Amino acid sequence: MKALSEKLLGGKQGAIALAILAMVLFVIFPLWLDSFRLSMLGKYVTYAFVSVSLVLLWGNGGILSLGQGIFFGLGGYCMAMFLKLEASDPVSTKIQTTPGIPDFMDWNQITALPWFWEPFKSLPLTLILILLIPTLLAFIIGFAMFKRRVGGVYFSIITQAIALILSILIVGQQGYTGGVNGITDLKTLLGWDIRTETAKYVLYYVNVCLLILSIMLARYIITSKFGMLLLAMRDKEERVRFSGYDVSDYKIFVFCVAAMISAIGGAMFTLQVGFMSPSFVGIVPSIEMVICAAVGGRMSLIGAVYGTLLVNFGKTMFSETYPELWLFLMGGLFIAVVMFFPDGLAGVYDKYSKNFKLGELLAKFNKNTVKRIGDML
Amino acid sequence: MFGYTMDEIGNIVVMQGFSGLSLFSVLLLMALGLAIIFGQMGVINMAHGEFMAVGAYTTVLMSKLAVKYDLVHTYFVFAIIAAFIFAFVIGYLIEFLMIRHLYHRPLDTLLATWGLSLVMQQIFRSTFGAKEVSAELPEWLLGSFQPTPDIDIPINGVFVMGLAIIVTASVYLYIYRSRGGLRIRATMQNRTMASAVGINTKKVDRMTFALGCGIAGVAGASFTTIASTGPTTGSLYIVDSFMVVVFGGATSLIGTIASAFSIAQAQSILQFFMSSSMGKVSTLLVIVMILMMRPEGLFASKLRK
């Protein structure tokens, strides 16, 4: 039991860091921020799921996926489809030519619900699909690529192309997906209005709980033997292969887990924000999520969360006041982090906390030397 | 088929084929630069599209000057050269300031150059405005010729293709038939040996990167003849260009040409019969599927890691 809790929390230091994060998200922010800002924070927390998945996948596994937006988006769209169907019941859509189908379908002269919307009429099925569809897609992509030993930059480029394909597809198929506007006007979840202030608070707390669970899951994976193998694969893939491990299986597994965590983030995003659109699926959001993880620290689960919150707060602040400056800052930040602080904020923190310990050591050493010099005299 | 007669389909294929050739030319020029940089140094340059935009904006500026001094008839040739030089110089500086520190971390170059592309896009937006601008084209580039009454072939498309062929031929000659190219290939094949026989490999890297960027500049110049230029023009082509390079097999010149041709033609012809977005989706999807089955691309025998 003790071993399990240690693995989930990551030792004493990890537990403290996680407790501080939980404290900040559960207590400090809700007390400090008004409900508008808090709901915005909730949005950033959903991005943090993707950062956590990237720490697992990229920081530890060395697999840079430029398509995490795919899974975030799929999770979000699954949730949005369920909510949209609930919002477009025959009574409230009776002015349409075909009542009972989402309004954008009606605008696009579609008269019957497409088959792939059918499962999203039930909540349990939707919840299963939120986890299943992205994981399955990740499995197919991962199986096809890792079994053929495609890795490194090729993997990044191909995932990026898939993100592009998905976003063009969603924009192009307006009648089935809501097009460039996405799926909007989501109202209730099983009759519970998600637009009220109370609902936003509740969703925020659910969000943070899920995030902390995801961090614990990721930490469990990282601290297990599997995590050791991930690191080994990142650094010397050939050696791991020669030691008799099937590298591709491990990569496929970690890619699927990362996809699932991102999808949870996407589904929570839809609930928290009340809509889903292709602008959270394509290339740009996918890379921005990598930026967030990189700024926070690609090796640190907790750091990546702080990084995500910080980058997105900065983005909102700056694009409100100086929209021009923001892209300069974002680009510059990214170049600087990659070139000078490859381990991000967490790396900087570690360095200074280590220096601090080094100082203690030096002090001890000095004391000893002084004593010895005193003895000699 | 699709409610057209066979004759009409023939004409559509010819005309869409020619419009595909313009796309082919731009993609080919973009991919050439990328393939050189990638094949040589393993660097993924996400800002490549922005180097293309540098070339395009140079051409637009030159055309403004040309209108002022009444040189519209001849300026375009100089514009191409200027576009090359500008993109080359900026590429040289970027390599010196940024890329050379990241050679041992290929995934990180990808991220850093993405940051660079954001900065460059914002520079374009602040300098030239968010609106798309277009170059004043000389008269001999406008219009079209008609071999039969039903077929209409724009001259600018033919010009762009000619330019692409000339640039490709020169790149071929430079890489496979000159001392400079020999040095590039030597460094590419075995860096340690190359430097042991006295090749300054760092200089070779810098020149190669700058050359790739310069070619992107030419791509930008030729792009202005078929469309107008905006701050995000480059980013529209970057994924396509990467797909061309990967699909063709990163180190093969023939592969790059063949894959640029097939991707451009497939997109162009499919876009006529389906919607524009579905044409693009199906092309990309087919490429991704082929790459999953044959990850080393069309024309490379080396297994990829």
- What is the model's pTM? 0.86
Contact B112, B102 (CB under 8 A): yes
**Cβ-defined contact of A64 to B110 (cutoff 8 Å):** yes
Per-residue confidence (pLDDT) for residue A95, from 0 to 100: 77
Given a cut of 90, whether residue B151 has pLDDT beyond it is: no
Least CA distance to A161: which residue of chain B? B239
Q: Give how far B260 is from chain A: nearest CA, Å.
A: 16
The domain tally of chain B equals: 1
User: CA A249 → CA A218, A230, A253, A256, distances in Å?
Assistant: 18, 11, 6, 11
Q: Residue A84, exposed/middle/buried by CB under 10 A (0-12, 13-18, 19+)?
A: buried
Q: Is residue B233 part of a domain?
A: yes
Q: Give how far A153 is from chain B: nearest CA, Å.
A: 6
Q: What are phi and psi of A90, to 5 degrees?
A: -55, -30
Per-residue confidence (pLDDT) for residue A69, from 0 to 100: 92
Given a cut of 70, whether residue B1 has pLDDT beyond it is: no
| Cα distance between residue A11 and residue B9, in whole Å | 69
- Partner A contacted by B284 (CB < 8 A): yes
How high does pLDDT run on average in chain B?
A: 84
Q: Given CA atoms B102, B106, B108, B109 in this order, what sign does their dihedral have?
A: positive
Q: Comparing C-alpha atoms, which of B203, B224, B186 is closest to residue B29?
A: B224
How confident is residue B214, by pLDDT bands cut at 50, 70 and 90?
very high
Nearest to A327 among B101, B122, B276 (CB): B122
Nearest to A144 among B111, B120, B292 (CB): B292
Q: Is residue B276 part of a domain?
A: no
The percentage of chain B sitting over the pLDDT mark of 90, rounded to a whole number, equals 20
Q: Give how far B286 is from chain A: nearest CA, Å.
A: 11
For the ranges A139-143, B34-38, B227-231, B248-252, the lowest mean pLDDT is seen at B248-252
B16 vs A116 pLDDT, higher one: A116
* Neighbouring residues of A296: CB distance < 8 A, sequence distance ≥ 6: A51, A303, A304, A305, A306, A307, A308, A310, A344, A345, A346
Per-residue confidence (pLDDT) for residue B231, from 0 to 100: 87
The encoded tokens of residue B262 equal: 């097939």
Q: What are phi and psi of B151, to 5 degrees?
A: -110, 135
DSSP secondary structure string for all residues of B69-132:
HT-TTTHHHHHHHHHHHHHHHHHHHHHHHTGGGGTT-HHHHHHHHHHHHHHHHHHHHHHH-SS-
How confident is residue B305, by pLDDT bands cut at 50, 70 and 90?
very low
- Partner B contacted by A158 (CB < 8 A): yes
Residue-wise pLDDT for B168-182, tens only, equals: 999 889 988 899 889
Task: Say if strands B153-154 and A192-193 run parallel, antiparallel, or are unpaired.
Answer: unpaired
| Cα distance between residue A44 and residue A247, in whole Å | 33
**Cβ-defined contact of A153 to B243 (cutoff 8 Å):** no
Interface test with A, best of B103, B114, B128, B276 (most A CBs within 10 A): B114
User: CA B250 → CA A113, A159, A316, distances in Å?
Assistant: 45, 17, 39
| Cα distance between residue B162 and residue B18, in whole Å | 13
- What is the count of residue pairs from A and B with beta carbons less than 8 Å apart? 120
* Neighbouring residues of A366: CB distance < 8 A, sequence distance ≥ 6: none
Residue-wise pLDDT for B67-81, tens only, equals: 888 777 778 888 999
Q: Comparing C-alpha atoms, which of A31, A103, A42, A101 is closest to residue A265?
A: A42
**Cβ-defined contact of A160 to B239 (cutoff 8 Å):** yes
How confident is residue B209, by pLDDT bands cut at 50, 70 and 90?
very high
Given a cut of 90, whether residue B94 has pLDDT beyond it is: yes
Q: Is residue B280 part of a domain?
A: no
B4-12: average pLDDT = 75
Q: Is residue B266 part of a domain?
A: no
- Partner A contacted by B242 (CB < 8 A): yes
Per-residue confidence (pLDDT) for residue B44, from 0 to 100: 84
Contacts of B108 in chain A (CB under 8 A): 338, 342
- Partner B contacted by A215 (CB < 8 A): no
B119-138: average pLDDT = 85
The encoded tokens of residue B82 equal: 């200027």
Q: Residue B197, exposed/middle/buried by CB under 10 A (0-12, 13-18, 19+)?
A: exposed
Tens of pLDDT along chain A (377 residues) come to 556 766 666 667 777 888 888 888 888 888 888 878 888 888 999 999 999 999 999 989 889 999 899 999 999 999 999 998 888 877 777 777 777 788 888 888 888 788 888 888 888 899 999 999 999 999 999 998 888 887 778 888 889 889 999 998 998 888 888 888 888 888 788 878 878 888 888 889 999 999 999 999 999 998 888 888 999 988 888 898 998 888 999 999 999 999 999 999 999 999 988 889 888 888 888 988 888 888 888 888 888 999 999 888 888 888 778 877 888 888 888 888 888 888 888 888 877 776 655 555 555 656 666 566 566 55
Q: Comparing C-alpha atoms, which of A370, A193, A333, A161 is closest to residue A274?
A: A193
Q: How far is CA A287 from the centre of its chain?
A: 12
- Partner B contacted by A342 (CB < 8 A): yes
ipTM of the complex: 0.85
Per-residue confidence (pLDDT) for residue A369, from 0 to 100: 61
Domain around B100? 6-237
Contacts of A141 in chain B (CB under 8 A): 292
